[in-house]
Structure 1
Amino acid sequence: MVFANIENKIPATLIPGDGIGPEIMDAVVRILDVLGAPFAWDVQQGGLAGIKSAGDPLPGALIDSIRRTQLALKGPLTTPVGGGFRSVNVRLREEFHLYANLRPVRTMIPGQRYDDIDLVLIRENLEGLYVAFEHYIEVGDDPHAVAISSGVNTRAGAKRIIRYAFEYALSHGRKKVTVVHKANVLKALTGIFLEVGREMAKEYEGRVVMDDRIVDACAMQLVMNPWQFDVIVTTNLFGDILSDQMSGLVGGLGMAPGANIGEKAAIFEAVHGSAPDIAGKGIANPLALLLATCLMLKHVDRADLAARLQTAVDQTLKVDGVRTGDIGGKASTNDFAAAIIKRLANG
């Protein structure tokens, strides 16, 4: 159902998703309604629901909706294991040329193993090994005797994402960009990324500091001393891995929002998956998806609403102590949403 032509409303596609997706999306939409968020939702199905309704986890109606709205909030979508369907997330990124994946992490519950974490990972979203240019070679009677995957990084793609990282740092008061690579071994595939980073750093000299890390060293240093980092920019596969590690510094994937940004569209999501093992139990944490809406609100120039929502979330976690089980509490999905709604109503 499309709620278009409502005064001052911004058309946006809403994809409930699979597993816990509909539960956390319902909680988030109720919170956004109380906040007065400006979105007019066009609800579309994808993932397993898309296969059931249209025979495709990424139905044409969903694609057409995002093409119209150029803006989407997405719950976790399941790509069936095995042959037949490529990753839904990869297909969406390719379809709308969403070249930048923004994944911030910030300490919101004090007293954890790491305090005062405030990091941003910016991941190239369209190139590298993650795009899965793969095939098998048959040997004898084994059709899968050899598996081959090709990675492709381009100078143009590296320039686009690294410039995005430097510009993000400037516009958000960040001081340093760290380029993460594996140029000691993958000298061509990730060497081009490092080479572009060093070239581009000269344009921002005196405004933003640039350094670089080999990916395995970066992973270790994120555990040993994460405070040395500020903005990290890296290739597709490395970004996927490091962003999950970074979420562990602040409480796990339940705290990790993501934004997929292109020149003509943007899709906002929780980083975590559909968690079918807890679907329907009412215990899922909606926080990552809620934090993704903060990014979405900033994207449509409603930083005022994003700040109100972030304040309500912080007060719910720190002052009221209302938390779901994955972050040390006992609240249900609805309890957590109700606590944030109460904060917004009283604020």
Structure 2
Amino acid sequence: MNISIKYLTYLYNLYYRCLFAMILFYMVLYLLNADLFKAHTFYVFPLFVAPYLLYYGICFAFVHMLLRAPRHQWVWIGLCGLLILGSFWIVKSYYYVLLPAFNIVFYSEWKEHHTWILLKKIFQGLFFILLLIAVDYYCFNWLIMKVQSRRLERILRDRADSSLLSGHFLRRLYQLTAKGKKQVDVEVLDFFQSISNKLVAQQVRVALEEEWSFVKRMIALCPDRQFVIIGEEQVPQQIWNRSVPSLSLMTWIENAVTYSLDGSADPIVLNWTTEPDRTVLQIRNAISTASITKGTGNGLRLVNRLYESCQNDRVHLDYTVDDQSFFSVKLSFFK
């Protein structure tokens, strides 16, 4: 069951849920009485159902006040009792006195035997209203449990994937930065310390600005590859504040360096572009067929799974291969 969290915000608000149920109630009443009101003007039916909707709104409020303030439950139960007792006189005055004064008549002249008929309708309406409130309450709680379970599963999965990516990345990073060196220099050790601090913090997501600063530090540690950064100054600050999975951009850089050609004249290009509805980062590198056959693809697979959890944050990820010669990662941040 794929439920987008942001669309559930309205369901947390009791006013929206009450309004939704009242609209549903209105439609049900209209379908049940459609033949009776076809020949009447448009405002007649709303006047007919107004007491039903008002009755539902008051009952909805009382029930949720009772659930939220159980210590004052007898107060709310007493008010509900007064509502039921008083509704007879209110409904009678509305249909048999107020509306007829404006020449709007739904029922024949009041007779004594109408008392039990009206009471029966009031209790039938009360039963239906309480049934609708109960359906709203239990369906909402079921939906919230479902969403919270999915959210917990996603958090646990992201933590597991982030841990796997950390181990994969550190091993490949050491191979990359220590390549061709007899001993690891201070700059590399400092970078490893910074990465270790990130892993200790156990942050699954970090700000894009922070991840980008580590990318540029990592680029400086790869002297055997050419890098070209385009359009960085065009990126608006609100995009830098967006969150991305930790180590994801650095994994793409490590992947580009590992699988590109040694001594290639084609640089690894990091290109930022700004469009009306999005800001896009594209990382493009030439492909070495010999290097690809040695890889497992675990890094990209883990990063891809982490970005699946970012879809609700208006972030989209694409991988493309151009002419079997260039590999591109395109990360889009929608506004």
What TM-score, normalized by structure 2, do the two folds share?
A: 0.21
Kindly indicate whether structure 1 or structure 2 has the higher relative contact order, using CA contacts under 8 Å at least 6 residues apart.
1
Which structure has the larger Rg over C-alpha atoms? Answer: 2
Greater share of residues in helix? 2
